[in-house]
Amino acid sequence: MTITRKFTVALLLASILLGVPGTSTGRADNGGNAIAKAGAIDTQLTDELKLANETLYEAFASRDIYRMGQLWVKYEGASSIFPAESMAQYGWENVRQSWQYSFDHIRDIQLSSLAGIIIVDSDEEGAIAWIIDSNRLEGVHTQTGQPFVMPNMLTTKIFERRDGEWRVVHYHAHQPRLQPPTATHELSLKRPLDPVHAPEVEAADDRFYNALRNQSLEEMDGIWASSKDVTAVQPDVGVAFVGKANVMASWKSLFSHNKKIGITNVEREVFLRGNIAWTVGSYEFHALRQTDGEFIHVPKILVTKILEKTDGGWRLVHYHGHIGPQAHEHDLGSAGGHGGHDMASAGDSNMVFAKCAKCHQVGPEAGNVVGPHLNGIFGRKAGSVANYGMYSSGIKKLRDQGFSWTEETLDEWIADPKKLLPESPMAFAFPGIPDASQRKEIIQYLKSFSN
């Protein structure tokens, strides 16, 4: 039988403690003392871990890819989610390229940890630890000479102890509400060579998404471990939630702000070490905001979750989600402001188009709002407006199949969007127009902007 010891220590200055979303960082200076104890703190393990964490910062600040490499596991189990990237990277080679890209594009780096917690889970076979912290990152863009600062970069780091040394296995960082300074660079997505089959972990991960879809606090409560050291980093909040009550308050807030939540396109990889597992990937988020019924669509929330096997099965102990770079104009906090299209410009004779105008513009001044502009729609390839960054993967698939909009396909689409693309955000938020004569009127109207 293995004896598991789990313990938590405050890192550096303080732990992040907090209550309500939207409030500023509430910090309690714990002077490096334990904030929760499920077992005796092994100071040697945590001291070594702190050292590994500091060495990671030094390798980062000095842009030393060799040193960075020494700190990481080199096998396919390595993964990362970087602030300026729109997807997770799997395998050390891809993670290495992301570091290299950062080192090539930023210089004069200063990095300091503001606050955070370390959670260590160890048994006779080894140990896994994770550090949730907030950091200040300053630097200069190498290409433009422009200085930049990320005052509050939130980070999840997972370490694994092998042969007496701590190694990084996962790194996830983002700066809330910051448009990434550099263009997203896309690496070819390489799956781990040896995908982990862990049906129980996957089922637990699925239950999480169902709880979100059902907006069920009860389900969410059952999915999380009940220990004091569970943590959550939510996309639209600048601090980590620590402790079950605070974590649950963060879900309650999300549920109460939205009438209806849709979760699609879940992608994940599972990593498993004994009684600890983590999943890395992304999901697409749709919601109708409670206050004004405004439609919110986030094409990609990048996510890391850590799970622990308890007597009752796999439970979440950490969640870190952030909005992918392409979606900033329509993120969870700022989805308002658009969609209030001036109906007068749609013309009196086209009141039916008002149903679309909530999300689409057409005409000489038309831009992309919730949906893409509809100028020149007839003969236009599906999913082809270049500067509309929020197409769903479903419509991109149609585009790749050569699908384009004609009177017939458009009529079918607006009669019942779900029929053509069940997972499209438009299908989620718009039931369609059953009345054929109304559809005809809209099509005639759109024709006047298509020649």
Q: List residues near ligand HEC by CB under 6 A.
A: 295, 297, 355-356, 358-360, 370-372, 374, 377, 382-385, 391-392, 394-395, 405, 410, 414, 421, 424-426, 429-430, 433, 442
In terms of CB distance, is 172 or 358 closer to ligand HEC? 358
Alpha-carbon distance of 381 to 398, in angstroms, equals: 9
What's the min distance (Å) between Cβ of 416 and ligand HEC? Answer: 11
In terms of CB distance, is 21 or 432 closer to ligand HEC? 432
Tokens at 360, concatenated: 């689409």
In terms of CB distance, is 6 or 297 closer to ligand HEC? 297
What's the min distance (Å) between Cβ of 349 and ligand HEC? Answer: 16
Alpha-carbon distance of 290 to 255, in angstroms, equals: 9
| DSSP one-letter code for 243 | S
Are residues 110 and 61 in contact, defined by beta-carbon separation less than 8 angstroms? yes
User: CB neighbours (10 Å) of residue 375?
Assistant: 16
In terms of CB distance, is 77 or 383 closer to ligand HEC? 383
In terms of CB distance, is 150 or 433 closer to ligand HEC? 433
In terms of CB distance, is 44 or 401 closer to ligand HEC? 401
User: CB neighbours (10 Å) of residue 177?
Assistant: 16
User: CB neighbours (10 Å) of residue 54?
Assistant: 12
Select the residue whose beta carbon is closest to ligand HEC and give its number. Answer: 356
| DSSP one-letter code for 376 | T
Alpha-carbon distance of 227 to 212, in angstroms, equals: 21
Alpha-carbon distance of 235 to 81, in angstroms, equals: 14
Alpha-carbon distance of 354 to 436, in angstroms, equals: 16
What's the min distance (Å) between Cβ of 322 and ligand HEC? Answer: 21
What's the min distance (Å) between Cβ of 391 and ligand HEC? Answer: 4
What's the min distance (Å) between Cβ of 205 and ligand HEC? Answer: 25
Alpha-carbon distance of 397 to 401, in angstroms, equals: 6
Are residues 46 and 120 in contact, defined by beta-carbon separation less than 8 angstroms? yes
In terms of CB distance, is 250 or 392 closer to ligand HEC? 392
Burial level of 27, CB count in 10 A (0-12/13-18/19+)? middle
| DSSP one-letter code for 404 | B
CA dihedral 437, 440, 442, 443 (to 10 degrees): 170
What's the min distance (Å) between Cβ of 348 and ligand HEC? Answer: 17
In terms of CB distance, is 76 or 284 closer to ligand HEC? 284
Run of H or E residues at 137: strand 126-141
Cα of first residue to Cα of last residue in the chain, in angstroms, is: 75
In terms of CB distance, is 4 or 393 closer to ligand HEC? 393
Are residues 382 and 421 in contact, defined by beta-carbon separation less than 8 angstroms? no
Alpha-carbon distance of 187 to 88, in angstroms, equals: 10
In terms of CB distance, is 224 or 405 closer to ligand HEC? 405
